[in-house]
Structure 1
Amino acid sequence: LCSLSDCDCSFKGRCKLREHLRSHTQEKVVACPTCGGMFANNTKFFDHIRRQTALEQQRFQCSHCSKRFATERLLRDHMRNHVNHYKCPLCDMTCPLPSSLRNHIRFRHSEERPFKCDYCDYSCKNLIDLRKHLDTHSKEPAYRCEFEACSFTARSLCSIKLHYRKVHEGDSEPRYKCHVCDKCFTRGNNLTVHLRKKHQFKWPSGHPRFRYKEHEDGYMRLQLVRYESVELTEQLL
Structure 2
Amino acid sequence: MWEVGDLFRCTVRLRQTRFLRYFYTTRTRKEMASPSCGGSTEGLRPGYSGNETGGLCPDLPGKETGGEKPFKCDQCDYATARKSDLDRHLAKHSGEKPYMCGECGYRTADRSHLSRHMRTHTGERPYKCDQCDYSAALKSSLDKHLATHTGEKPYMCGECGHRTAHKSDLSVHMRTHTGEKPYKCHQCDYSAAQRSSLDKHLATHTGEKPYKCDQCDYSALRKSHLDQHLTKHTGEKPYMCDECGYRTARKANLSRHMRTHTGEKSYKCDQCDYSAAQKSSLNIHLAKHTGEKPYKCEQCDYFAAQKGDLDRHLMTHTGEKPYMCGECGYRTTDRSHLSSHMRTHTGEKPYRCDQCDYSAAQKSTLQHHLTTHTGEKPYMCEKCGYRTAHMSGLSRHMRTHTGQNPYKCDQYDYSAAHKSSLDYHLTEHSGDKPYMCGYRSTYKSDLSKHMRTHTGDKPYKCDQCDYSTAQKCDLDRHQRKHTGEKPYMCGECGYRTDRTSNLFRHMRTHSGEKRNPTCVTSDRAARKSELSEHIKTHAA
**Aligned pairs (5 A) from 1:97-176:** 101-106=198-203, 108-138=204-234, 140-150=235-245, 152-154=246-248, 156-157=249-250, 161=253, 170-175=260-265, 176=267
Aligned counterpart, 1:221 = none
TM superposition shift of 1:133: 1.3
What is the CA-CA distance between 1:129 and the residue it aligns to?
1.6
- Per-residue deviation at 1:195? 2.6
**Partner deviation per Cα, 1:119-152 (whole Å, 9 max, x = no partner):** 22222222222221111111x53334313342x4
Q: Tell whether the 8 Å contact from 1:62 to 1:75 is kept in structure 2 after alignment.
A: no
Residue among 40, 44, 49 paired with 2:137: 40
CA distance in 1, matches of 2:233, 2:187: 36
Q: 1:67: Cα distance to partner?
A: 8.3
Instruction: Rate the CA distance shift 1:16–1:169 in 2: closer, same or farther, 3 A.
Output: closer
Name the CA distance, whole Å, in 1 between partners of 2:131 and 2:167.
24
Bigger shift: residues 187-196 or 116-125: 187-196
Structure 1 residues 93 and 122, CA, compared in 2 at 3 Å: closer, same or farther? same
* Partner in structure 2 of residue 196 of structure 1: 287
| Inter-CA distance 21–157: structure 2 relative to 1 (3 Å threshold) | same
Structure 2 CA distance, aligned partners of 1:6 and 1:187? 32
Amino acid of the structure 2 residue aligned with 1:180: Q
Q: TM-score, normalised by structure 1?
A: 0.54
The correspondence for 1:3, drawn from 76, 101, 104, is: 101
* Unpaired segments ≥5 residues, structure 1: 210-237
Matches within 5 A, 1:41-120: 41-42=138-139, 44-46=141-143, 85-94=182-191, 101-106=198-203, 108-120=204-216
State the 1:38 CA deviation.
2.7
The question of whether the paired residues in 1 share the 8 Å contact of 2:231 and 2:237 is answered with yes
**Structure 1 CA distance for aligned equivalents of residues 196 and 101 of structure 2:** 16
Taking a change above 3 Å as real, the CA distance of residues 111 and 161 of structure 1, as seen in their structure-2 partners, is same
Letter in 2 for 1:89: H
Name the amino acid aligned to 1:7: R
1:110 Cα shift? Answer: 2.5
The Cα shift of 1:41 comes to 3.8
Distance apart, 1:185 and its partner CA: 3.1
Question: Residue 107 of structure 2: SS of its match in structure 1?
Answer: coil
Letter in 1 for 2:209: R
Alpha-carbon separation, structure 2, partners of 1:189 and 1:27: 33
Q: Distance in 2 between matches of 1:102 and 1:64?
A: 28
| TM-score (norm. length: structure 2) | 0.28
Give distance in 2, aligned partners of 1:96 and 1:68. 18
Q: Is the 8 A contact 1:2 1:10 kept in 2?
A: no
Aligned mates of 2:277, 2:143 — CA distance in 1? 32
- Across the aligned residues of Structure 1 and Structure 2, the Cα RMSD in angstroms comes to 4.7
- 1:58-88 CA-partner distances (Å, limit 9, x unpaired): 6x99999998999xxx758975886755531
Partner letter of residue 137 of structure 1? Answer: H
Inter-partner Cα distance in structure 2 for 1:200 and 1:35: 47
1:96–1:193: structure 2 CA closer, same or farther, 3 Å change rule? Answer: closer
- Pick closer, same or farther for the CA change 1:25–1:195 going to 2, 3 Å: farther
Q: Secondary structure at the match of 2:272?
A: coil
Cα deviation for residue 111 of structure 1 reads 2.2
Q: Residue type matched to 2:290 in 1?
A: Q
What SS is found at the alignment partner of 2:116? helix
Tell me if the contact between 2:241 and 2:247 (Cα under 8 Å) persists in the aligned partners: no
Instruction: Extract unaligned runs of 5+ from structure 2.
Output: 1-98, 295-305, 308-540
For residue 187 of structure 2, give the secondary structure of its aligned residue in structure 1. coil
| TM-aligned CA deviation for residue 105 of structure 1 | 1.0
RCO higher in structure (CA 8 A, sep ≥6): 1
Aligned to 2:471: none
Q: Distance in 2 between matches of 1:170 and 1:61?
A: 22
Aligned residues: 189
**More helix per residue: 1 or 2?**
2
Query: How far, CA to CA, are the matches of 2:264 and 2:133 in structure 1?
Result: 29
